[in-house]
Structure 1
Amino acid sequence: MFAISLGDDGAQLRPLEPWQAEEYLAHMDRGREFIGQYIPLAALAVDVDSARAFLQSYADKQAADAGRIYGIWLDGKLVGGVLFRVFDAVRESCEVGCWLEPSAAGRGLVTRAARVLIDWAVEERGMHRIEWVASSGNTASIKVAERLGMTRDGVLRESYPYRGKRHDSEIWSVLASEWRAARSAQTR
């Protein structure tokens, strides 16, 4: 297994795999309400079996080259994650997503982790378009898209029902050429 440092604060990005179901469930239990404000991720892991099944679904996606999931560890404790919810190598398009428990919010962990994923998608896999989808009410997620240099493509009004209410989805994206130009400007 590998770990990628996300900075001087001890944060690491690592693959999140089915054998880690108990740790993943404990993490979801710590952040269930916070994580579940805008996305149903926490509801998919209510016991060890469902946590393992969810992680296995991403192991299967990775084997099919259709998605991947990574955890963010801070001081050895799983506190969040990032994923390729959709990964389409043929269309050269993918969607990056995230989640975080409240104890880790406000540290830039998701932004740093998403940069690693986008760099890999663009430079190693030749992705042309990377998307970020967020509920219009999820200002923290929208701020991450902005920090990543993404452009707001539009809003899908009342596009998904969640917790008895229909939510708008904002679609953000960055193209490979834009990503490379921004990364090049940062190293000058």
Structure 2
Amino acid sequence: MFAIPLSRSLAGETAELRPLEPWNAEEFLAHMDRGREYIGEYIGLADANTDLDQARAFLQSYADKQAADAGRIYGIWLEGTLVGGVLFRTFDAAQGVCEVGCWLEPAAVGRGLVTQAITLLIDWAVERRGIHRVEWVVSSGNSASIKVAERLGMTRDGVMRQAYSFRGTRHDLEVWSTLATEWRRRPVGH
């Protein structure tokens, strides 16, 4: 329905952000298959989408969240291929709080795509929807995701020790956030 161009990737490729919808399930599953090991290192997204029915149901769950104004999901396409995505995992306009998240397949890492896409999401949440607090929750071991939070100018609020069990291992979760007032006064280009 629409595509928002991202600045050219650091490698000069054309990239865009688009809604990721149930009809994209085959493309989404192919993307998960390409990046399953990398994507699944810290998050359960890859494990939860191993066949077409699961992929369709996952994307439908976000279509339902969007209809309820409780979440949204977008894909990142690089040179016409779905390579990752960003989302509002939770979205509570009444409380003014949301949580953003991301994932990428290995071929798209290091191009600045997630930082650009999340910036668009946070801009929209703060400026259009009046969100006061945007959260980023990440496994302490996921240094790439932590670097994105830092590039976005987020503040590390704290660590929830061993709060997340994934693939038989307990992980510490870090909570990062930005407040609307902080987001609006960040330096240009961030």
Q: TM-score range by the shorter chain?
A: over 0.9
User: What secondary structure sits across from 1:21 in the alignment?
Assistant: helix
- Which residue of the other structure, out of 65, 74, 77, is the alignment partner of 1:73? 77
- Which residue of the other structure, out of 32, 35, 42, is the alignment partner of 2:39? 35
Give the alignment of 1:115-134 within 5 angstroms: 115-134=119-138
2:7 is matched with which residue? 7
Give the alignment of 1:38-57 within 5 angstroms: 38-57=42-61
Structure 1 portions without partners, runs of 5+: none
Matches of 1:49 and 1:165, distance apart in 2: 27
Give the alignment of 1:102-181 within 5 angstroms: 102-181=106-185
Matches of 1:10 and 1:120, distance apart in 2: 22
Task: Report the alpha carbon displacement of residue 43 of structure 1 after superposing the two structures with TM.
Answer: 1.1
Matches of 1:109 and 1:137, distance apart in 2: 21
Structure 2 portions without partners, runs of 5+: none
RMSD: 0.7
Matches of 1:177 and 1:2, distance apart in 2: 29
User: What secondary structure sits across from 2:47 in the alignment?
Assistant: helix
Task: Report the alpha carbon displacement of residue 78 of structure 1 after superposing the two structures with TM.
Answer: 0.1
Matches of 1:37 and 1:43, distance apart in 2: 10
User: What secondary structure sits across from 2:141 in the alignment?
Assistant: coil
Q: TM-score of the superposition, structure 2-length normalised?
A: 0.96
Counterpart residue identity of residue 33, structure 1:
E
User: What secondary structure sits across from 1:43 in the alignment?
Assistant: coil
Task: Report the alpha carbon displacement of residue 56 of structure 1 after superposing the two structures with TM.
Answer: 0.1
Counterpart residue identity of residue 3, structure 1:
A
Q: Quote the sequence identity (%).
A: 73
Matches of 2:136 and 2:165, distance apart in 1: 19
